[in-house]
Each structure stands twice: as structure tokens, then as C-alpha cells.
């Protein structure tokens, strides 16, 4: 596989929003309803996008506040970030502000360091299968993402809605940005 087709993606968000479920759905095609808080797990998976193989290295991170300093120390070098919230819990969207601020600081540091490719960010409103329990409208999630220069998708790990598409979009966004920046130098 072409070394240039590798991407590191950190999956972040508040505890219980479905980060592990999304990650395991992509990597193992499995879903579990049990909540088991994660400190940090790493996975890798190859996906073919537009006929090209891509190697995705995923880090599924802790969402609990007590682990946030650990998160910053070990995950800010990623190529891309998937910021996940639970559409049935508005506090999980608010919690993304912390992660977005950390990613903003990393992006500024990359610019100061000589122009490393800025990280790609996509916001995923997870659990879209639970429409009757929805408390965050799609428009709210989209607006939050737009204000922070992020892509936006709604997902369901349970029903496998937009899981592959979200990671494909994130990968393609990174590689198109990376390609454009390297062709200018």
C-alpha cells in the first residue's frame, strides 16, 4: 500500500455519545448496546475509497472530563478529528467546544511550525436512529459545525447509517488538502 494513503483519525467527544460504537462499527462491523467507558483504544483498518486503498489508524478516546488532559497530550498530532455528539443529549454538543478549542490551538501551532497540513474535522451527530428522543436538531449540529469550519454528518452506529461515508469523507478531505498543499511547495 502507498505510504501516502495513511491517515490518523482521533474520535473524540463526551462520554456515552457513541465514539466506540462508531469506531467498532467501522473496524469490526459490530454494534453493542453496552456502555463501557474507554480510556483510549487504537485500531487500524483498510478501506477502498474511489478504488484506492487507504489505511486508517483510529484512536478512540476517553470522553470523561477526568481524562481530557491525557487526550490533549496524546492526540493532537492526528491528521483528522471526528467530533461526536449524541443527538438525544444537548450537553454532548456543548462538550465539543473543549475539543474544538484544543484542535484550534494545534492548528495554529502547525501554521507557526512551517505549514503542516491543518487537521480535517467532521462533526458527527450520532444516534440518528433515535428520532423520537432527538433533542438536538440537525440544523443545530450543522450550524455548530459551520461556525467551527467542520464538516457535518449524522450517523447511527446501531443502524450503520453514514459510518463508512463519514470516514471516507474525512479521508478524502484530508488527502485533497494534503495534495493541494504539497503541490504548492
Under 8 Å between Cβ of 14 and 95 = yes
Separation between Cα atoms, residue 24 and residue 31, nearest integer Å: 7
Q: Which residues contact 136 (CB under 8 A, 6 or more apart)?
A: 85, 86, 87, 88, 89, 90, 93, 125
- Predicted local confidence at residue 185, as pLDDT: 44
Under 8 Å between Cβ of 116 and 107 = no
Residues of the chain with pLDDT under 50: 182-185
Output the CA torsion sign for 95, 99, 104, 105.
Answer: positive
Output the CA torsion sign for 153, 157, 160, 166.
Answer: positive
Give the position of cell 463519514. 166
- Predicted local confidence at residue 1, as pLDDT: 52
**Nearest alpha-carbon partner for 155 in 92, 100, 96, 84:** 84
Under 8 Å between Cβ of 102 and 72 = yes
The Cβ of residue 87 has, within 10 Å, a number of other Cβ atoms equal to 28
Q: Which residues contact 148 (CB under 8 A, 6 or more apart)?
A: 100, 104, 121, 123
The secondary structure of residue 66, as a DSSP letter, is G
Separation between Cα atoms, residue 31 and residue 115, nearest integer Å: 39
**For 114-149, how does the pLDDT look when each residue is reduced to its tens digit (9 = 90+)?**
767 889 999 999 999 999 999 999 999 999 999 999
- Domain coverage including residue 22: 3-184
The secondary structure of residue 2, as a DSSP letter, is -
Read off the CATH number of the domain in which 108 is found: 3.40.50.300
Q: Are strands 52-61 and 120-126 parallel, antiparallel or unpaired?
A: unpaired
Give the position of cell 474525512. 170
- Predicted local confidence at residue 129, as pLDDT: 98
**Considering its fold, how many domains does the chain have in total?**
1
pTM of the model: 0.89
Amino acid at each position: 500500500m502507498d505510504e501516502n494513503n495513511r491517515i490518523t483519525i482521533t474520535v473524540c467527544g463526551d462520554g456515552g455519545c457513541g465514539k466506540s460504537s462508531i469506531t467498532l462499527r467501522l473496524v469490526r462491523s459490530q454494534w453493542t448496546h453496552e456502555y463501557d467507558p474507554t480510556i483510549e483504544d487504537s485500531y487500524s483498518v483498510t478501506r477502498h475509497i474511489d478504488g484506492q486503498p487507504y489505511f486508517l489508524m483510529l484512536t478512540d478516546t476517553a470522553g470523561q472530563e477526568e481524562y481530557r488532559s491525557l487526550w490533549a497530550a496524546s492526540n493532537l498530532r492526528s491528521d483528522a478529528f471526528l467530533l461526536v455528539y449524541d443527538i438525544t443529549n444537548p450537553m454532548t454538543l456543548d462538550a465539543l467546544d473543549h475539543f474544538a478549542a484544543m484542535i484550534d490551538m494545534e492548528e495554529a501551532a502547525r501554521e507557526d511550525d512551517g505549514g503542516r497540513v491543518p487537521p480535517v474535522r467532521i462533526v458527527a451527530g450520532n444516534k440518528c436512529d433515535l428520532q423520537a428522543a432527538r433533542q438536538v436538531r440537525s440544523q443545530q449540529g450543522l450550524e455548530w459545525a459551520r461556525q467551527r469550519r467542520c464538516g457535518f454528518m449524522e450517523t447511527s452506529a446501531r443502524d450503520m447509517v453514514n459510518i463508512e461515508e463519514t470516514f471516507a469523507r474525512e479521508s478524502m478531505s484530508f488527502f485533497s488538502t494534503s495534495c493541494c498543499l504539497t503541490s504548492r511547495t
